[in-house]
Amino acid sequence: MTTTLRTLTLAALGTASVALAADGTITGKVDATPAKYLEETVVYLKGAKAPGKAPETKSMDQKAMTFVPHILVVSQGDTVNFLNHDNVVHNVYSPDNEGYNLGSFKQDEQRSYKFQKEGAYTQLCSLHPEMLAFIFVAPGPYAAAVDKKGNFTIAHVPPGTYQLAVWNSHLKASDKPVTVAPGQTVTENLSLKR
Amino acid sequence: MSRGALGVAVVVLVLTVATPAAAIPAFARKYQTSCLTCHTVYPKLNPFGEAFRRNGYRFPGTDSDYIKAEQIAMGQEANKKTFPKTAWPDSLLAAIPISVGANGQAMIVPSSTSSAGEAAKAVDGSTAHFSLQNLVAEAHLWGGAAFDDTITSWFELTFSSGGVDVEHAQLLFNDIVGPKHLFNVIVGHGFPNVTQYGPHSSYLADQLVTVVPVTAIFWGDPDPWTLVDNYTGLELNGVIAGRVDYAVGLNAGKIAHGLAPTDNFYGRVGFKIGGMRLDGEDSSGADPDRPWAETALGIYGFGYQSNSRFDTTAGAPVASDTANTYGVGGRGQLGSAELNVGWYTESHGHGTDTGGPVNAKVLFGELSYVVFPWMVPAVRVETLWVTPEGGTTVRNLHIQPGIAFLIRPNIKLVAVFDYESAHGFVSTTGGPLTPGPQAWQGGASSWGPIQIAPPSSGENTRSEFESIGLYLAWAM
C-alpha cells in the first residue's frame, strides 16, 4: 500500500469514526394495554432515511411451524430471504400493502422478496393458517423491535429532531418529537392502547 | 295426598330443581379472573356480570384484549383481507373450555303434620324430618367460549336421575350490523330473555321469575310450558345507547312429539337509569370497592305467546294449548340493597282438563342486601292467583327468608326457610289426574318438595311453615 493510499484510508476511517461518535442513541420503554400485544411493537423514526445506505438482505425462517423471528425490522429497499427448515411444505404470502405470494416451497428451499414500500406486512402461510409473523419496513435504519419487557434502542442516529413513532399489531400511540444531540442518549417512553 | 297429586309434585320438583348456570369457571379460566368479577353469590350476577351476559358473554371494549388463556389461531386477522380465498379466521382456547359442578339440597321438614311430612308418610309410612337424599341432585357440564370478538357460544349439559338434558346449546352472533351491541342474534337452545336480567338472578330460588306449570297442574303434562324454561329458537336482542334494551324471539316451545310449527313468539323492552350501563361500556357507575353495588333502576315489560302440544297420558291424543302472557318487572338498587319485582298475567286457552281457559297471575319479589361479598341475606315473596273458567280463584303465597353464603368463590351454601299459605285448591274433574283437589305447586319451588296439600278436614285454606332447604352447589 502506498503512503498516499494509507493516508486516504486512515482519513476515511477517521471521518467515519467521528461521524459514529457524533451520532446519538434513542432508548426507552413501551408499555401496552393490554400487555399481551406488547411484543408486536416496533419503534422508529418517521421519515428518517439514510441516503447512500446499501440495501441489506435479512432472513425469516420457518421452523416447527413458526416464523422466526416473529417480528423482523428491515429498511426500505432491503430484501428478505424466507427459509424453510421444516420437513413440511410452507408458503409465504402477505395481503398487506402491494401484497405478494411467494408460493409454496419445500424444506431447505428459500424464496426472496424485496420490500420497496414502507409499512407493516403480515406474514402468513396459506397451508398453516395459525402461522403469523410481521415484517416492518422502516424508511431507514432507525427502527427497532421492542424486547419482551418493551425496551428498545435505536442507535447511530444523526443529530437532529425527529418524530418518534410506534407501530403495533393491535394498539396505537401518538408520535413524539425527539431531539438527538451528538453523542448523547435520549430516553423516551411510549404508551400503547386501543 | 292423592297419587296423582304426588306425581305432579314430583314433576314440578324435577322441573324446578336449581340449575345454577349464568356464567361459569370456563370464563374464569379464559380471562384468568375470579368468579367475583361477574358474580356475588353465584349464579347471581353483579352489574358487570349482567353486562357480560347481555353482551353475549363478552367483555366491554374488545373482548379478545382480556383473554389471557392460551389460544390457537384458526387463521389470522389478516386473513379477513384475503377472504374469500381463505376462511374467515377465529381461534380456539388451548384448553377445552369446560367446567363441571354439582348441586342439590338437604331438607329439614319441621313437622309430620306439614304437607311434606304428610307426603312422606303417605309414601313409606315415616316422616323424613331431615334428608340428605337430594344433596347431589344434579351434575353439570358447562362450556363457554368465543370464536372471535363477535361470535360466542354457551353450552350446558345437566345430569340427574331423570337422565341427561341439554339445557343450553347456543351460538351468539353479536354486533351483526350497526353500532356495537345494537343487533345480536342467539341461535339454539336456551332461555328466552323475557327479563332484563339473567334467568338465575335470585339468591334464594333457582330462577328470578316464579313460574306456574298450568298444564301440569290440570292435565298431568309431564313437560309443561312455563314462562322461563329452555327452548330452541332464535332471538334478536340488543342494547341501545347503553340504557335501553330489547329482545324479540321465536322458538319451538313445548312439543311432546312429532314435527310441529315453530310458533312461540315473545318480545321485551326495558331501560335502566343510573349505575353501570346495560352493556358495561365506559365503566361509569361502577363502585370499585363494592363491585355488586350501584344506585340504579331498571324497568322492563314483555309479552309472550306460546303454543304447546303435549301428551296428557300414554296413548291419549295430543292436546294443545295457547297461552298469552304479559308482564312487567324491575330492579331497584341502592348500594348493596337490591329489590327485584315482577308481575305477569298468563292466560291459557286450554288450561283445564275439561278444555276450559285458565288465567294465572303471578307477583314475585326478592329483597337482598350484600353484607359481605360472601354473605347475602334475602327474603323472597311469591304470590299466585289461578282462576279456571267458571271456577273460583285459588291463591297461594310463599314467604321465603334465607341467607346465601360463599364458602369459597365457587362453593355456595344457601339456607331458605319456606312459609306457604294457600286459599282454595286446584281441582280436576275429567283429566288424567285423580279427580278432586290437587296439591298446590307453589312458585319457584327450588328447595325441595315444597308443596302444600289440601287439609284433610276439607277446609280450603292451609298455612304452614313448610321446610328449611339447605342448598349446596359447587363449580370448577
| Integer Cα distance of B126 and B120 in angstroms | 6
Nearest to B65 among A34, A94, A122 (CB): A34
Residue A166: name the closest of A150, A186, A179, A182 by CA: A150
Contact between B337 and B369 (Cβ < 8 Å): yes
Handedness of CA B205, B207, B208, B210 (dihedral sign): negative
CB-based contact B78 A122, cutoff 8 Å: yes
pLDDT at A16: 45
Q: What is the pLDDT of chain A when averaged over all its residues?
A: 90
Name the closest residue on chain A to residue B80, using Cα atoms. Answer: A95
| Integer Cα distance of B358 and B165 in angstroms | 30
Give B388-392's long-range contacts (Cβ < 8 A, gap of 24+).
Answer: B388/B218, B388/B351, B388/B352, B388/B356, B388/B357, B388/B358, B388/B426, B389/B352, B389/B356, B389/B357, B389/B358, B390/B356, B391/B427, B392/B424
pLDDT surpasses 80 at A87: yes
Contact between B142 and B170 (Cβ < 8 Å): no
What is the complex's ipTM, to 2 decimals? 0.75
Instruction: Please tell me whether residue A21 adopts helix, strand or coil conformation.
Output: helix
First to last CA, chain B: 40
Closest CA of chain B from A13, distance in Å:
46
Closest CA of chain B from A98, distance in Å:
12
Mutation to test the A interface, candidates B82, B85, B86, B88, most A Cβ within 10 Å: B82
What the block records as the C-alpha cell of B106 is: 338437604
Q: Which pLDDT band holds residue A20 (cuts at 50, 70, 90)?
A: low
**Helices (H) and strands (E) in chain A — how many of each?**
1, 17
Q: Residue B347: what are its φ and ψ, rounded to 5°? A: -110, 120
| Angle at the Cα of B147 from the Cα atoms of B143 and B148, rounded to 5 degrees | 135
Q: Residue B81: what are its φ and ψ, rounded to 5°? A: -75, -25
For B3-62+96-475, CATH number out of 3.20.20.210, 2.60.120.20, 1.20.59.20, 2.40.160.10 equals 2.40.160.10
Pairing of strands B394-408, B411-423: antiparallel
Closest CA of chain A from B344, distance in Å:
44
Q: Is B274 left (phi over 0), alpha (psi -120 to 50) or beta?
A: left
Contact between B431 and B4 (Cβ < 8 Å): no
The domain locations on chain A are: 24-48+142-194, 54-141
Instruction: Report the run of H or E that residue B295 belongs to, with start and end.
Output: strand B294-311
Q: Taking the CA of residue A59 as centre, how many other CA atoms within 13 Å lie in the half-sphere pointing to its CB?
A: 9
Closest CA of chain B from A122, distance in Å:
7
Which residues of chain B, if any, have pLDDT below 50?
Answer: 1-22, 441-450
Contact between A178 and A152 (Cβ < 8 Å): no
Would you say the CATH fold of A54-141 matches that of A24-48+142-194?
yes
Q: pLDDT tens digits, residue range A110-166?
A: 999 999 999 999 999 988 888 999 999 999 999 999 999 999 999 999 999 999 999
CB-based contact A96 B89, cutoff 8 Å: no
Q: Which fold has domain A24-48+142-194?
A: Immunoglobulin-like (2.60.40)
pLDDT at B115: 78
Which residue is associated with the grid cell 313468539? B265
Domain A54-141 sits in CATH at 2.60.40.420
CB-based contact B87 A95, cutoff 8 Å: no
- Model pTM? 0.84
